Amino acid sequence: MVRTVSIGEADVLVIGLTSSDDGPAIAPADAFGDVLDAETRATLLTALTAVGAKGKGEELTRVPAPAGLGVDSVLAVGLGALDKIDAEQIRKSAGVAGRALSGVDTAVTTLSGLDLGAAAEGFYLGAYTFTPYKGKSAPKPEETPVKRVEFLVPDPGFGEEALFRAQAVAEAVATARDFVNTPPNDLFPAEFADRAAELAKAAGLQVEILDEQALADGGYGGILGVGKGSSRPPRLIRITYAGGDKKVALVGKGITFDTGGISIKPAQNMENMTSDMAGAAAVIATTLLAARLSLPVTVTATVPMAENMPSATAQRPGDVLTQYGGTTVEVLNTDAEGRLILADAMVRAGEDEPDYLIDVATLTGAQMVALGTRTPGIMGTEEFRDRVARLSQSVGENGWPMPLPAELRADLNSKIADLANVTNHRWGGMLSAGLFLKEFVTDGLQWAHVDIAGPSYNTGGPFGYTPKGGTGVPVRTLIATIEDIAAE
Ligand code: BES
Ligand code: MN
Ligand code: ZN
């Protein structure tokens, strides 16, 4: 995507349309005044109104371009009431426009006049597609993403930084989405680690991969216990971007497929468990992004990867394993596997003495029972939890603070080990998972635990800038948090 100062030779012009009681209006391009003359605006508004455009949020209306405008058609995207437009509305509207532009070579937009960064982020995120597995049904030209979107700006240097950040952020989100969308036959632990390592090395970052032997030598009993049912052994990958004195540790759940293990899941919807590595994908993509943005912070991703399979070598309900660091855990349910691999990784991450720890996981179905499919649950130490939630809301990922009720902790007591991996009831399942993880957080460390079981994977139709499949949540929450820490 590029910037331009004139409408030029684009095929489609994308404009914003606001709504009001007096009918729709063409959104102003505040940053540089009106690009369209009064007559063109009037002609366009008449045409748009004639075909029923109202300017409601994310509404799409396409009309032939008035003569002399230099484009074939005009795509109007609704922004809602003018006084309620915020960055998230611009991202969402740009997102639906970006998706609607499939098959178009070049589009040009005035949405950059409202907020260049938000508009660019929205177009990039909305235009995302994942097609490497399309084989014989390869996408037709009209199904391919728009090749080029130009943003009208008052002068060529305008908004350079915002545009750079938007592109970097959107590409990081796409990296996370690509990992999540890659099917589990191709993305198994060793392959996932190799692909992540390749990206990290290309970005000049430090990489360390522990294979099954190194995990055994190191005492990573949680990762090994979960991984031992699979013919494809587990990994722990560590990626470090050394950008400054402040240290942020990221940990992400990397279950490349979750059958539940011996406590096997029902067949219905089990295919969605290809997304059980979305936390891993997000923290890997965020670490690369922190480097790309040259943030003055050191970020280390510690990412456990395993495939949770039932087999003759799988762990059993009732097995006791020893986590990295020595805590023993009675595995009462092999489907509560995420917390077992995370516990090892969180203890390892704590050894680096970070200032902050954020773990991200598709951890519990209970997250969706509590908050629905689009709202991440955020737990942890209160102040940092609230800070991450606030930042998450500011970027439109909408994480919400949740408690870790002390009284639930006793329900994780085991008769024979230090801890059990599940309670014997289903109340507050997201919170008891958080309480389990809390046992593995170094004392005094500021910690946030983000449960993204629903928000990381969209099983419904596309909406706003969010496609079907991997969403890339919570990459934008994580980078906003790291930027906030960098600004301390
Ligand atoms: N990966 C699942 C959680 C999940 C469910 C993510 C649906 C996305 C969509 C996790 O490993 C799991 O199976 N959790 C169990 C925990 C239970 C056994 C305490 C669950 O939520 O049922
Ligand atoms: Mn599970
Ligand atoms: Zn899982």
Burial 39-62 (b: 16+ CB within 10 A, else e): ebbebbbebbeeeebbbebbbbbb
Q: What is the distance in A from the centroid of ligand 1 to the CA of 246?
A: 33
Residue 88 lies in a domain: yes
Cα–Cα distance between 77 and 62 in angstroms, integer? 9
Mean pLDDT of the chain: 96
Residue 184 lies in a domain: yes
- Cα–Cα distance list, 425 to 329, 408, 411, 422, 428 (Å): 18, 10, 9, 8, 9
> Are 333 and 297 members of one domain?
yes
Question: Using one digit for the tens of pLDDT, what is the confidence trace for 376-435?
Answer: 999 999 999 999 999 999 999 999 999 999 999 999 999 999 999 999 999 999 999 999
Q: What is the distance in A from the centroid of ligand 3 to the CA of 276?
A: 5
Contact assessment for residue 161 and residue 38, using Cβ atoms and an 8 Å cutoff: no
Residue in the structure block whose two tokens are 């070049």: 106
| Residue nearest atom 22 in ligand 1 by C-alpha distance | 365
Pocket perturbation via mutation, ligand 1, pick of 256, 264, 335, 373 by most ligand atoms within 8 A of CB: 335
16 vs 137, higher pLDDT? 16
Q: Which helix (H) or strand (E) holds 113?
A: helix 112-126
**Which residue ranges make up the annotated binding site for Mn(2+)?**
253, 258, 276, 335, 337
Residue 439 lies in a domain: yes
Question: Using one digit for the tens of pLDDT, what is the confidence trace for 289-325?
Answer: 999 999 999 999 999 999 999 999 999 999 999 999 9
Q: What is the distance in A from the centroid of ligand 2 to the CA of 370?
A: 18
- Cα–Cα distance list, 292 to 205, 240, 241 (Å): 11, 13, 10
Of 96, 118, 153, which one is at a domain's C-terminal end?
Answer: 153
Neighbours of ion ligand 3 (CB under 5 A): 255, 258, 276, 338
Which conformational region is residue 197 in: left (phi greater than 0), alpha (psi within -120 to 50 degrees), or beta? alpha
Of 131, 153, 175, which one is at a domain's C-terminal end?
Answer: 153
Residue 429 lies in a domain: yes
Number of domains in the chain: 2
Average pLDDT (62-81) is: 95
Q: Which atom of ligand 1 is nearest to the CA of 276?
A: 1
Residue 423 lies in a domain: yes
| Residue nearest atom 17 in ligand 1 by C-alpha distance | 336
Percent of the chain topping pLDDT 90: 92
- The runs of H, that is alpha helices, within 220-364 are 221-227, 278-292, 338-350
Q: Which ligand lies nearest the alpha carbon of 377?
A: 1
> Are 147 and 171 members of one domain?
no
> Are 251 and 374 members of one domain?
yes
Query: What CATH number is given to the structural domain containing 217?
Result: 3.40.630.10
pLDDT of residue 33: 72
Q: Which ligand lies nearest the alpha carbon of 422?
A: 1
Residue 8 lies in a domain: yes
45 vs 137, higher pLDDT? 45
> Are 403 and 283 members of one domain?
yes
Q: Which atom of ligand 1 is nearest to the CA of 433?
A: 19
Count of helix runs (H) and strand runs (E) in the chain: 13, 21
Q: Which residues are catalytic?
A: 265, 339
Of 96, 126, 153, which one is at a domain's C-terminal end?
Answer: 153
Q: Which ligand lies nearest the alpha carbon of 421?
A: 1
> Are 149 and 195 members of one domain?
no
> Are 106 and 55 members of one domain?
yes
Full domain range(s) for residue 46: 2-153
Query: What CATH number is given to the structural domain containing 58?
Result: 3.40.220.10
Among 364, 482, 350, CA closest to 432: 364
Residues 6+ away with beta carbon under 8 Å from 335 = 258, 260, 261, 263, 264, 265, 308
Using the predicted structure, report yes or no on whether residue 51 has a pLDDT greater than 70.
yes
Q: Which atom of ligand 1 is nearest to the CA of 333?
A: 18
Residue 49 lies in a domain: yes
Confidence of residue 5 (pLDDT cuts 50, 70, 90): low
Contact assessment for residue 474 and residue 397, using Cβ atoms and an 8 Å cutoff: yes
Tokens of 277: 């590595």
Average pLDDT (10-34) is: 90
pLDDT of residue 155: 85
> Are 144 and 174 members of one domain?
no
Confidence of residue 143 (pLDDT cuts 50, 70, 90): confident
Using the predicted structure, report yes or no on whether residue 215 has a pLDDT greater than 80.
yes
Q: What is the distance in A from the centroid of ligand 1 to the CA of 363?
A: 6
Q: Is the pTM of this model over 0.95?
A: yes
Q: What is the distance in A from the centroid of ligand 3 to the CA of 255?
A: 6
Pocket perturbation via mutation, ligand 1, pick of 364, 368, 451 by most ligand atoms within 8 A of CB: 364
Q: Which helix (H) or strand (E) holds 236?
A: strand 235-242
| Residue nearest atom 5 in ligand 1 by C-alpha distance | 365
Q: Which residues line ligand 1 (CB under 6 A)?
A: 258, 276, 333, 335-338, 362-366, 422, 429, 453
Q: What is the distance in A from the centroid of ligand 2 to the CA of 337?
A: 5
Using the predicted structure, report yes or no on whether residue 1 has a pLDDT greater than 60.
no
Counted residue by residue, the chain has a size of 488
Q: Which atom of ligand 1 is nearest to the CA of 265?
A: 13
- Cα–Cα distance list, 442 to 134, 249, 328, 413 (Å): 46, 12, 17, 20
> Are 108 and 252 members of one domain?
no
pLDDT of residue 260: 98
Distance linking the first and last C-alpha atoms of the chain:
32
Confidence of residue 3 (pLDDT cuts 50, 70, 90): low
